[in-house]
Amino acid sequence: MKKTIAALSVVMLAASLSVSAKEIRFGVDASYAPFESKATSGELVGFDIDLGNEICKRLHADCKWVENDFDGMIPALKAKKFDGILSSMSMTEQRMKEISFSSKLFNTPTRMVAKAHSGLLPTAASLKGKRVGVEQGTIQETYAKTYWAPKGVDIVPYKDQNQVQADLVAGRLDATLQDAVEASEGFLKKPEGKGFDFAGKNVVDKKTLGEGAGIGLRKEDVALKADIDKAIASIIKDGTYKKLEKKYFDFDVYGK
Amino acid sequence: MSDIIQQFWRAFLWSDGYHFSGVAITLWLLAISIAFGFVVSIPLSVARVSKNKLLAWPVWLYTYVFRGTPLYVQLLLFYTGMYSLDVVRNHEMLNVFFRDGMNCTLLSFGLNTCAYTTEIFAGAIKATPYGEIEAARAYGMSRFTLYRRVIIPSALRRALPAYSNEVILMLHATTVAFTATVPDILKVARDANSATYDSFDAFGLAALLYLCITFVLVALFRRAERKLLAHLRPMNG
């Protein structure tokens, strides 16, 4: 009898181990189309979601999506509420102190938006004495505060991106600095974005703007990182990445 | 915790290096809106209890509107709503005033707390013991003197406990200021949170700062009550 129980418990232990190995839980804040958002049916959709599901498929695992607010992602990852953050999280030095990242998923550029033909450029010299709006907690805020604020540019942080755009339209701001995809999808392509345009080229800075977005992982989960990196590499290699990209973007979102 | 304090103590207390922020902003918002509310609410509360409907009714409407809508909505109306109107933007003075987030915040906070204070004072005026008024009349005081020397001083004293509550609630209400880009204590706490991911410490520190300010306010009001309401204290033995 004892033997049976022992044998049974070994089997169950093995079963539970294999179950946990076959499930990957991703944390996501579904408020950032076209990367992650909710369809009217309530289903999660977007480029990140497709990539995540493809990664799970290649690792023969079940994907479980856990919704979480963006600013609470890193504490929740550490508290093991999920195993990875797959929510357009830029890989910055500051975040790398807390967690590790998979290899790059995509790198959308940062660009400035201003009135069309304003002549403004995303440089401290051109913006001196002007008011530039940024969303609080974004890498763009860090960039503007690091490089522009000390040189006399008035940086105004806002609670969310919609407010930044509203004040640009209202005329309180001379320019805004944000993710280029967000600006074009969420503002410039909409009716209220009429009369506004990108000003200047992509803003590049490895230190504050990072090198693109990846999947945030706990530092100790080395094996999971190796598996996910392998899956990402194969997705890019066999052309699946390009196919998924075409669904959402008309430009190269992988970037440099 | 020490990380946050080291990196953000200056921003929490008075400046982020370029603008005022934190405690300095919160206290400024509180002081200006309370001062405005106090000064304006005294004539309004007299009008509110007036028998003349033409005086009483507009004040009733004003306090009803400002007490009947959330402060957050009022702030959005003044900050985002007003400035989206062409009338406001094309008028030079209005444009200058409403362009600045701080002005919009002070205006909505001031009008909001003034509405509550008016009701508090009006209630105290209504509850003035009739004997006090009768005695003043027996002295031959005119109506103005009656208000100036008897009813208002007496009512303000009796309103003190309720009024101190309103001041503390106003302190807590200043936390919506960041909606109009005004960097109060809570905004700095959000900065600290997004920079360090120490959510508990970042917001805990903000809570501690609010507690300290409340502590000082309560102490001040207690001293004032002991002095000004001495005549209403139960007698010992």
Reported as a single tens digit per residue, the pLDDT across A6-62 is 665 655 555 544 444 579 999 999 877 789 988 889 999 999 999 999 999 999 999
Residues A198, A117 within the same domain: yes
Q: Residue B198 maps to which CATH number?
A: 1.10.3720.10
Is B235 among the domain residues? no
Strand order from edge to edge, sheet including A213-217: A62-67, A23-28, A84-90, A213-217, A100-101
Long-range contacts of B189-194 (CB under 8 A, 24+ apart): B189/B12, B190/A136, B190/A137, B191/A136, B191/A137, B191/A157, B191/B8, B191/B11, B191/B16, B192/B4, B192/B7, B192/B8, B192/B11, B192/B12, B193/A71, B193/A137, B194/A71, B194/A136, B194/A137
Residues A73, A150 within the same domain: no
Residues A86, A117 within the same domain: no
Residue B179 touches partner A, C-beta closer than 8 Å: yes
How large a percentage of chain B has pLDDT more than 70? 99
Count structural domains, chain A. Answer: 2
Q: Please tell me which of the candidates B18, B178, B187 has its beta carbon nearest to residue A149.
A: B18
Residues A215, A102 within the same domain: yes
Is B234 among the domain residues? no
Question: For residue A209, is pLDDT > 90?
Answer: no
Residues A129, A102 within the same domain: no
Q: Which two tokens stand for residue A144?
A: 């503007």
Is B202 among the domain residues? yes
- Residue B85: its pLDDT value, please? 87
Residue B181 touches partner A, C-beta closer than 8 Å: yes
By CA distance, what is B181's nearest residue in A? A158
Is B236 among the domain residues? no
Is A124 among the domain residues? yes
DSSP annotation of A70: G
- pLDDT tens for residues A55-78? 999 999 999 999 998 878 998 999
**CA distances for B121 relative to A80, B61, B149, B232, angstroms:** 54, 16, 16, 18
By CA distance, what is A73's nearest residue in B? B197
Residues A176, A202 within the same domain: yes
Is A11 among the domain residues? no
Instruction: Measure in Å the smallest separation between the Cα of A51 and chain B Cα atoms.
Output: 26
Instruction: Pick from B72, B78, B197 the residue to mutate for testing the A interface (most A CBs within 10 Å).
Output: B197
Residues A137, A202 within the same domain: yes
Question: Largest Cα–Cα distance in chain B?
Answer: 69
Number of A–B residue contacts, CB under 8 Å: 44
Cα B138 → chain centroid: 38
Count structural domains, chain B. Answer: 1
- pLDDT tens for residues B175-187? 999 989 999 999 9
- Region A80-103: mean pLDDT is 92
Taking an 8 Å cut-off on Cβ atoms, the answer to whether A71 and B193 are in contact is yes
Rounded mean pLDDT of chain A?
88
Q: Note which residues in 143-172 of chain B have CB less than 8 A from chain A.
A: none
Q: Which domain holds residue A148?
A: 110-209
Instruction: Pick from A141, A148, A165, A172 the residue to mutate for testing the B interface (most B CBs within 10 Å).
Output: A172
Residue B98 touches partner A, C-beta closer than 8 Å: no
Q: Residue A33 maps to which CATH number?
A: 3.40.190.10
Residues A158, A217 within the same domain: no
Q: Which domain holds residue B158?
A: 2-11+19-229
Taking an 8 Å cut-off on Cβ atoms, the answer to whether B194 and A71 are in contact is yes
Residues A99, A137 within the same domain: no
DSSP string, B168-185: HHHHHHGGGGGGGT---H
Residues A225, A173 within the same domain: no
**More confident: A113 or B84:** A113
- Residue A18: its pLDDT value, please? 46
**CA distances for B3 relative to A18, B185, B195, B201, B203, angstroms:** 41, 17, 10, 10, 14
